[in-house]
Amino acid sequence: MMAPAMVVSLVFAFLVGWNDVLFASALQNQTIAVTLEQFGLAQSESIGAQPLYGDLMAAALVSAIPVVVLYLAFQRYLVHGLAAGALSGT
């Protein structure tokens, strides 16, 4: 009975750490989101006009793959855990 709730908490905690841009950029840690931000800025400064959007979007797609795989692996637990949490008040 606790497994769906624990999986939902695990996935949400993973997503917070994975997408933490503000905290990581303030402490100079290199998360994937901060690296993508710097990648786009470095390309726009070196070329002078616009970043290479093809390269930037390819890097964003590669960085999103672990989140998609995690969701697909735990999809039934997520749906069950979120539905149980929504119906527990009735």
Per residue in 36-46, pLDDT tens?
A: 777 777 666 65
Q: How many helices (H) and strands (E) does the chain have?
A: 5, 0
Predicted confidence (pLDDT) per residue in 60-90, tens digit: 888 888 888 888 888 877 777 667 666 655 4
Arithmetic mean of pLDDT, 11-37: 73
Distance CA 51, CA 53 (A): 6
